[in-house]
Amino acid sequence: MIYLVATAVKHGKGGISTALTSIIEELDRRGEAYRVVESHTGDASRWQAFQAARKALVQAGQGDVIWLHGARWLSLLRKYALARAPRKRGAKVVLHIHGIEFMHYLAHPLGRWLLQRMINRYHGLIVLTPWWRTQIADNLSYPNDRIHVMPNTIDTSLLALTRDIPPKGRAALSELSRDINVLCMTRLETGKHVAAAIECFLHLPARYKLTVAGDGSLFTELQQLTARLGLTQRVEFLGWVPYEAKPALLQRMDLFLLPSELDSFGMGFIEAMAASLPVVGVAYGPIQDVVTDRVGILVARPEPQLLAQALLRCSAESVERSHAARQHVLAQFQPSTAVEHTLAFFKGLRQ
């Protein structure tokens, strides 16, 4: 039995909740024995959720895998505490690292010391891209053969968008007379650089429109910035978009923009590429493993002028990049391949 311990799947807010949806679909398709254990939901206090999760793991033991998904300190500590008893009963415990916060902890001696003590207790680690494997090898002592790379993947609702491939003879966005719709879908927090995404529209023709999908602590501040820049008529704030509404939103868009330096993977990029949207981001850490030159443009810094230039170039090359984006998702981010390799990794740990 695989016990998948994470935040509320699909209904939670954040990359972990979204990324796990396709994993669960694939486990169902394969008939794999698993149980989702929600370590945190919006309907209960963290303590209540912790107690419920601990109760759900009471039967876990020899031959089982405890697949923990975590990002920040409190999340990592809760997962660590939940796994102690099953580990003593013989279960194999694996930590799946999702948050870029992990890198912030590695930057400090105390953080590295605590993380080293924590990962020593795990039978295996799962990271999102090869960049992450390198960071762990450079900062911590852990057997390389017990570190598995598993990218986030796309679920069926978004994979379905890849079937309606536009004709290659279609005119580029730059040649069209209509508005060009750009989507920025993310949490509105420091490090996501949504302010730079908004400001770059000062350097773009008036027919470029921005839709900001997401909420966070900077929501009001970004709305005020938009008003000061005189961009109210060109920038729309949707707030948080429910999971089931994402496909329809993506289909209405032409380009995707996310100048983040706070992502551990960049789930929004592969969601956009599944909808054949050329993407623009920043050449930061793991993003470089996700976005290739053919499907999008990564600028050196989250500066408005650079972002605007990248959007203009993607508009001129939209047909080629649109096809490349779809092909890239189908080749690299299919759940069937990722889950197959991860199950093989679990099998090796069990043996």
Lowest mean pLDDT segment, chosen from 172-186, 195-209, 219-233, 299-313 = 172-186
Same domain as 95, residue 194: no
C-alpha separations of 173 from 45, 82, 254, 317 in Å: 48, 51, 8, 8
Q: Which long-range contacts (CB under 8 A, 24 or more apart) does 54-59 make?
A: 54/82, 54/85, 56/3, 57/3, 57/5, 57/82, 57/83, 57/85, 57/86, 58/85
Same domain as 52, residue 71: yes
Question: Which residue range(s) make up the domain with 254?
Answer: 156-332
Reference 207, options 315, 299, 306; nearest CA is 315
Same domain as 183, residue 327: yes
Q: Cα(85)–Cα(280) distance, rounded to whole angstroms?
A: 45
For residue 9, name the pLDDT band (cuts at 50, 70, 90): low
Whether the CB-CB separation of 65 and 35 falls below 8 Å is answered with: no
Same domain as 189, residue 125: no
Same domain as 308, residue 290: yes
Whole-model pTM above 0.85? Answer: yes
Contacting residues for 175 by C-beta, under 8 A, at least 6 apart: none
Q: What is the pLDDT of residue 294?
A: 87
**Amino acid residing at 338:** A
Same domain as 60, residue 170: no
Same domain as 76, residue 19: yes
Q: What is the pLDDT of residue 99?
A: 85
Same domain as 185, residue 114: no
Same domain as 202, residue 130: no
pLDDT digits (tens, 9 = 90+) for 215-245: 999 999 999 999 999 999 999 999 999 888 9
Contacting residues for 66 by C-beta, under 8 A, at least 6 apart: 3, 5, 57, 60, 82, 83, 86, 87, 91, 92, 93, 94
Same domain as 245, residue 213: yes
Total domains in the fold of the chain: 2
Same domain as 220, residue 249: yes
Same domain as 207, residue 138: no
C-alpha separations of 185 from 112, 246, 247, 250, 266 in Å: 32, 10, 12, 10, 11
CATH of the domain at 101: 3.40.50.2000
